[in-house]
């Protein structure tokens, strides 16, 4: 049953990641991967919220499996973050590569923390 919940969550998260990435990236003229940055920050916030709400209010393990592992796991993408950072380095866009790493880690952790605060408050 758990595998099915992960798959069902991923069925929602993966297309949302793709569509969000394309929509956001098409609006920016810089080499910075804004689309991947956006989905990773949103996914980090959502996972922080789910974790805190689950801990404080006893969300069922099935909800956590579906939404946390399936949906958030498919929405976020560490491999694309890594690939895009390497691609920026290869293109000699070192500033953008460093900015991507620093901003992604800081914003992802900050978003997860903020999500956890919201999850505890509700």
Please report where in the chains the tokens 């297309």 appear, as a residue.
15
Binding-site residues for Na(+), in ranges, read 73, 76
Compute and round to an integer the Cα radius of gyration of the chain: 15
* Helix, strand, coil % over all residues of the chain, rounded to 5: 85, 0, 15
pTM of the model: 0.92
Q: Roughly how many angstroms between the first and final C-alpha of the chain, as a whole number?
A: 28
* Domains contained in the chain, number: 1
Q: Given this model, what pLDDT does residue 58 score? A: 86
What 8-state DSSP symbol labels residue 27? T
Give the mean pLDDT per block of 10 residues along the chain (122 residues): 95 97 93 96 97 89 94 95 97 97 98 96 88
CA dist 32 and 38 (Å) reads: 11
CA dist 84 and 79 (Å) reads: 9
CA dist 31 and 37 (Å) reads: 12
Please report where in the chains the tokens 């801990």 appear, as a residue.
55
Segments forming the whole domain that contains residue 100: 2-121
Binding-site residues, in ranges, read 73, 76
Helix (H) or strand (E) holding 4: helix 2-25
Q: Given this model, what pLDDT does residue 57 score? A: 85
């Amino acid at each position: 049953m758990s595998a099915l919940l992960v798959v069902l969550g991923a069925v929602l998260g993966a297309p949302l990641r793709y569509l969000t990435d394309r929509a956001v990236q098409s609006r920016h003229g810089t080499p910075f991967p804004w689309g991947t940055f956006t989905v990773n920050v949103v996914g980090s916030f959502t996972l922080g919220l789910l974790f805190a709400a689950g801990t404080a209010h006893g969300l069922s393990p099935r909800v956590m499996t579906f939404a946390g592992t399936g949906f958030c796991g498919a929405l976020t993408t560490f491999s694309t973050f890594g690939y895009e950072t390497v691609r920026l380095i290869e293109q000699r866009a070192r500033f953008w590569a460093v900015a991507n790493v620093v901003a992604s880690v800081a914003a992802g952790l900050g978003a997860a923390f903020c999500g956890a605060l919201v999850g505890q408050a509700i």
